[in-house]
Structures are given as C-alpha cells and as structure tokens.
Amino acid sequence: MRILKYRKRDRTRAVNLKRHEDNAERVRLRITKGATVRVVRGDEKGKEGKVIRVNRKTGRITIEGVNIVKRHRKARRAEEQSGIVDFPAPMHASNVMLIDPKSGEPTRIRMRVDEDGTKERISVKSGDAIPRSR
C-alpha cells in the first residue's frame, strides 16, 4: 500500500469546484425552442427552420431540416435495425438570426420589460414583438 507523503488539502477541492462552476455556466441565448430562424453563416447559409432543441450549456441549437448529418448506427437489441441514420446536428447559436414576423427577414432583437414585469423580445428592424412559442 502506498503511503501519502503529503496530505491533500482543501485548497485543491476549492480550485476544482471553481473550475467546475466556470465550465457549467449557461450561455445567455435569446433564441428559444419553437422559434423560426435563418442560418446566416456556414455551409447551410440561407436555410430556414424551426428550433427543435436549445442547449444553453454549450450555446448550441438544433434546427429542423438544417445541418443534416449521417451516422452509422449499430442495433443495440435484436429487434432494432442497423444502418445509416440521418439527423440534424446542433450548430452554434451565433450562426443564426431570428426571423422578423412582419417582413420575414432575419433581424437582431432587443428585450423590453412591460408594465406587468414580463419580458418580451422586440425586432430591431420592425419594432414588433416576437412571440415566444413554447
């Protein structure tokens, strides 16, 4: 059995906890599940789709019908079938823009707090509110 020469200190635990907190921070995104977005950068530029999934920890979103990749999947049970599966891969949220409800063009957004305290997203181009669809 190995004998420890130096005693482990609480400092290393505190450093590890701090590093974990930094890594686990969530990215603030203005894009929500169900929103319609247009891709403005990358190979899929110009495509539009509905947001299926938002991962706030990595800052990535999955869009329906955009960034389709193939994966070779092995059957895990006897009744499953092996083969090549197509599915949408996540892309970074900075590569997409929300669609303006009035003009149908991509727009930046700003937030506004109403009198009753609810936040709503405002289109910069038209000034209209972009409804949240959850």
Which pLDDT tens digit goes with each residue over 79-103? 989 999 999 999 999 999 999 988 8
pLDDT on residue 53: 95
DSSP string, 49-87: EEEEEEETTTTEEEETTSSEEEEEE--SSTTS--EEEEE
From first CA to last CA, the distance across the chain in angstroms is 57
Which pLDDT tens digit goes with each residue over 25-75? 888 888 999 999 999 999 999 999 999 999 998 899 999 999 999 999 999
CA-wise closest residue to 99 among 17, 9, 35, 11: 35
Token pair listed for 27: 């990215």
